[in-house]
Each structure stands twice: as C-alpha cells, then as structure tokens.
Structure 1
Amino acid sequence: MHNIEKLGLQVFAAPNNLTGQAQIQVRAREIDFVTSFGKDIQALLDVMGITRMIKKDNGSVLKTKKVKGTLQSGLVAEGDEIPMSQYFVEEKVFDTIKIEKYRKGVSAESISERGYEAAVDMTDEEFKSDLQNSVLEKFYAQLKMGTLVGHESTWQMAIAMAIGRVKDKFKRMKRTATGVAVWVNTLDVYKYVGAADISIQTAFGMEYIQNFLGANIVFISSEIPENTVIATPLNNMIAYYVDPANSDFVKAGLSYTTDSATGFIGFHTEGNYGRAISDMFAIMGIRLFGEYLDAIAYISVGDSDTQTLGALTITSAEGSESGKTAVSVSPQMASINSIYKYKVSASATIVTLGMDVKTWTKWDGISEISATAGQHITIVEADQNYKAFRSGDVVATVKA
C-alpha cells in the first residue's frame, strides 16, 4: 500500500503522454491549415476545369510536349494507295517535381504582445500566402515560355488573337479546346474597363473574371508584364502533386498533418524551447503545368511601328586570347530590364519578333565570346521574359 502522505500530490499527476487540451489545440490548428490550403487550391482547379490533380513520385521528371506531323493530300486516284499522315508527340524534359520544405516561427515576444490567437492567425495566413505564391511563381514562369508568339496593335485585339491562336493550334492537333484561359496585367485591365463595374473573384491567390472579352476566364496579375496577353486552352493545363504522406520524410520519422481529402500539403507545428518560438513546418510538391508549350500564346501589344523586329548593329574584332572575339553592339540597351542572348553557328540564325531565346547563351554585353573564324554570332536583345525584340548578326573575327 502506498503511503499517501509520503508520496504527496504526485500520485494524482497526469500520466505521461496524455493527450490534453494543448495537444488538441495544436492538432486542430494543423488540420485547419492543411484543410484551408487544400480548399483554396481545389477552388482554383475547379475554375480551371482541372478535375483532379495527378499524383507523382517525389523527383518525377516533368515533360512538355509538342505535336509534329503533316497531313498528306487526300486527292488520291481511284485504286491508288492512300498516303499515311503521320503525327507524333515530341517530349522534352522541362523540370522535376519534388517535395519542398518550408519553415516559419512565431516568437514568444510576438505571442506576448499580440496574444496567442492574433499572433498565430496572422503568421499562419502569411505562411499560407507565401506557399501559394511559391506554386504560382513557377506556373507564371512556364506560361511566359509559351512559343505561340505574336504582336498586335491593341490590347483587345491581342486578347482576341491569343484566343484564336490557341483554339486553332488545338484544332490542328486534332484536339478540341474545352475553353480558353487568358492572363493579363492588372493595370491593363483597369486601363480598358475604366470606371466600369466588373466582378472579380479570387481563388488560391489568383484574381479572375469569368466570361470576359471572349475568354472563359481571364486571370489578372501583376506577374504578367504590361501590354502582354497570355492564353492557353483550359484542357492544356494539368496539376501534379507529391503526396507528403508518402514521402521519404514520413519514413524518416517526420510526422506531418495532411488533409485526407486532398493530401496536397503536410503541416506540423511544435515549440522550440531553445529559441522560445513556435515553429511551423510545411512540405509540399505542387506544380500547375501547361502540357503543350506550343499551345500557350504569348502576344505583345504596341503601336504599329513597333511590330517589326528591331535591328542591332554588331561588330567583331580579335579578342585578347586565342579563340576569342570582342563584340560590340549598338544602339545601347532599350531598357534596364533588357537582356542580351547570343548563339554561335555556321550561318546566321533567323530571329522573329517575340521569339523565345531563353535557351540561348546569356551575354553581359562586355565579355569576349568564344568562336571559330568565319562562324556567325547572332545577338538578340530580349525583354525580361526572353522574348526577342531586336537582333543582329556578325561574322566572327577571332584571334588565331
């Protein structure tokens, strides 16, 4: 029999690992975070017409596609063999999808100053917003790589032609566009509508207008440069995710709360006594993706006198060492946001207005370029989205 007087109150202490009110509150906070994040992205998927996200293994390769082929003539004489029209899909590795790890903390001072609820709510919302932006930044970057480029004199015509181009592209691919999504700059929208009352909605941090100017949905964002229209068929967009519950992190003993309905994100919070902060951890692997790059239209807007590719005057002289050439360009860069890209080849490379030169070699406008005597160096001045607007070519003079 225990001596109660000797043991004191310890005999009535709660057992170890008891799930108490504090643990329940932490768990509820984690559930609320992953559930609201999942609902937000699901709302965007619904707007885009994406019926489900495709689960991928951690580290899976993402590929863009391009359809190639030629329709053979249908004028075939009686009894002659009908020629075969061959089409094939060319795939190109674009990126990988993998679990990404994030962390943010709330200090004891912040909790003391604002109170637990205010400090936690503010921090959780900011954290969630930053995670959404991380997903959207990658998506915007790919949209800007669309290869169906063009130029129109007015913003409204650019929207119309962007819609027309992607519908025509899908038709030639023997596919039917289920609808078209358009992305435009925020200021461009308000320049156009003025004081008109428009109904703007938000999903997963993206503002949009439905059934506007011939598009099923128009997304409005400052991530899209002014005087630029981007469009793609709704069914060109797909969504991938890595399930945090199946990742190697869980196998390593790192437990995250996930939403059983979606499983898009894992979230965990715990106290860090060494720093007196409440740590928040999130892991996710989410990618919104345009499957066919050549079904993404990138249309720039400007006056009629800017609808042709500008010219650069390029000169070449012997470099300071063997195999190098010193290149100069005029006129000077049109904008601080401009970039130079170049390509060295046996003949001049044909450049068109709005051509994507992201894969070309970047040049700082000063460094000598490696080349062989007689090779052509084509230099392009491009905007911040790697779209060419001025170009020039020179035959390299190289130090022997």
Structure 2
Amino acid sequence: MKNKVFRELQLFAAETGTTVAADLTPAISVDFTSRIAQNIVELQQLLGITDLIPMAAGTDIKIYKWTVGELAAQVGEGEDIDLTHVKRELADTITLDLDKYRRNTTAEAIQKVGRDIAINQSDEKLIQKVQKGIKGSLYTVLKAGTGTAAGTNLQICLANLWAKLQKYYEDEDVSPVYFVNPQDVADYLGTAQITMQTAFGFTYIENFLGLGTAIVSPQVEAKKPIATAKENLRGAYVPMSGDVAQTFNLTADTTGLVGMTHSTKTGNATVDTLLMSCVKFFPEFQDGVFVGTISGE
C-alpha cells in the first residue's frame, strides 16, 4: 500500500531539475536585500555609528537638547549659594513606523523587455528611491539643529563650526562630521584636485580642509553647511523578522535591516515586489548639531 501511494505521488511531482517559482523569487530577494543592507552598513560606518539598535515598530525615539542657565555669582563664606538651572528638554520625536513599498510587473512587460529590465532593474530604481528616503530623513533632523555659526566662505564657516563643536564637546574626544552642499564645495575649491569616495549614495571627503569628514549632498541647503560629532549620531531599525516576515514570506540577510519578497500572481499574470524596512539615523542631542551660514564677502 505504501509503495502504491509513493508511486502516485511521483506522478504528480515536478520533474527533477524543473525550475519552479520557489527557485526564482527568493534568489532575487536575497540578492537585493544583501546589497541594500551592505549599503546601509557602509553609511553606518561613514557616520561612525557603532551599532544600530533594534526596536519594535511604533517605538518613539526622543531627541533632546540641554539648556544651562547663567552661572550664579560667587558668594561669601557662609552665605547661601544661588542655583544654576540645568534642563534637558524634548526637542523632537521620531516614530519608527514600518515603511512598506510595492511594485507590480506584468507578463507583457517581461515578454517585451525581458525579466532583467522588467523586474531586476526596475526594482533597483525602487531601492534607490527607498535609500534616498532614508538619507532624507537624516537631513530633516540635522537641519533642525539648534547650534549656529557663520563665515564669509566655506572654509571660514566650517572652521567656526569646528570651533563650536570643540566647545560643546570640550570634555570629549570626538570626530567632527560636516554635511555640505556640492555647489558650496565647487565654489570654494574651483579646479582643485580632491579625492572623493562614495557610500550609500553619499559622496564624502576624508579630512576635508583638515577639519574632519565632509559629506557632500544636494539635500543640504546651499550656504547652510551642518556640523556635528559622529559620536552624537545614532541609528535604529525595526528587524525584518518575526510574525510580519513569516506572514509575508519576507527574505532578509543576516542583518535583518530590509525584508523583501517577490511573488507571482497567476490571477492576473503579474509579479509583485514587496519591500519593507524601517531604518532611521538621528542625532542624540539636537543642540549638538550646528547649522552654519556662509554670508559671502
């Protein structure tokens, strides 16, 4: 009886070597998630963030600033000492909402231009947009920095920002990082030869003008460079694992930063791409971020 059942199952089993959907979709997802995660890790290293903190979706991240009042005047022997007011207050809140993205590819599109363009290259464009969103959220919170500095050109402005960082982090050994609009760099350097590198779509210059790492991006407002210490930057993410990943059959690499899946829909002959992530970079203290102003000659 057992042999009969086994022979019947063999009749309905796919022929050995047959390529099935399960062979195709996870491979695509694994490749993309590994590349995205590697880019995020490169950005993490560039920003000097040691660890990304895993948190549950919906968690609120609090960003604070310090306010220290004027030091009280000194008093004579036996007299009451006046108070110096020190206050830590909430400056901003970031909520770790689950980011969900989906696109759909038709059979006709695959037939017309091929699988690589219709699915893979199109997914690549989606991923670039997602990465831009992660970078954009970082710039949004950096622009809200409460420290200020100014200068008549880029070098003087960055030097004054550096000085403000030295004062703010007086008792700490920190590594300055600057965020600069590319036009400001071009205006200052002209035809000077400099070595630029890239990570996660960022262009950066190590030891720029001897002041620290400069990250060059058009998302920074022209003539408004931003500076902080790498030690003030933090990162958090929602791990793409657990019930959500299992329910939607998400594939993630070992970091768990991004979950992705591809699925065929026979009802309308299309392929669905589903991408989920939640990665946020932010400063721990808003008053430890300084926004400069290049005033011109």
What residue is the counterpart of 2:152 in the other structure? Answer: 153
Describe how 1:1-400 pairs up with structure 2 within 5 A: 12-14=11-13, 20-70=19-69, 87-171=86-170, 174=171, 176-246=172-242, 249-250=244-245, 253-260=247-254, 262-303=255-296
Q: Are the aligned partners of 2:151 and 2:293 in contact in 1 as well (CA < 8 Å)?
A: yes
C-alpha distance after superposition, 1:15-74 (max 9, x if no partner)? 69x995542232111111111111111011111111110111111112111123358579
Once the two structures are overlaid, the 10-residue window that deviates more, 192-201 or 276-285, is: 192-201
CA spacing shift, 1:276–1:164, aligned 2, 3 Å: farther
CA spacing shift, 1:198–1:14, aligned 2, 3 Å: same
Equivalent-residue separation in structure 2 for 1:104 and 1:126 (angstroms)? 11
Q: Alpha-carbon deviation of 1:270?
A: 0.7
- Is the strand fraction higher in 1 or 2? 1
CA spacing shift, 1:303–1:193, aligned 2, 3 Å: closer
Equivalent-residue separation in structure 2 for 1:283 and 1:163 (angstroms)? 38
CA spacing shift, 1:296–1:21, aligned 2, 3 Å: same
Q: Alpha-carbon deviation of 1:119?
A: 3.2
Aligned length: 291
Equivalent-residue separation in structure 2 for 1:241 and 1:154 (angstroms)? 37
Equivalent-residue separation in structure 2 for 1:186 and 1:273 (angstroms)? 48
The one-letter code sitting in structure 1 at the alignment partner of 2:35 is S
C-alpha distance after superposition, 1:339-389 (max 9, x if no partner)? xxxxxxxxxxxxxxxxxxxxxxxxxxxxxxxxxxxxxxxxxxxxxxxxxxx
Q: Alpha-carbon deviation of 1:195?
A: 2.1
What residue is the counterpart of 1:317 in the other structure? Answer: none
Q: Alpha-carbon deviation of 1:101?
A: 0.8
Equivalent-residue separation in structure 2 for 1:121 and 1:198 (angstroms)? 35
The one-letter code sitting in structure 1 at the alignment partner of 2:13 is A
Q: Which runs of 5+ in 1 are unaligned?
A: 305-400
- Is the helix fraction higher in 1 or 2? 2
Q: TM-score, normalised by structure 2?
A: 0.86
Q: Alpha-carbon deviation of 1:117?
A: 2.7
Q: Which runs of 5+ in 2 are unaligned?
A: none
**Greater Rg, structure 1 or structure 2?**
1
CA spacing shift, 1:35–1:236, aligned 2, 3 Å: same
SS of 1:120's partner is: helix
Q: Are the aligned partners of 1:177 and 1:234 in contact in 2 as well (CA < 8 Å)?
A: no
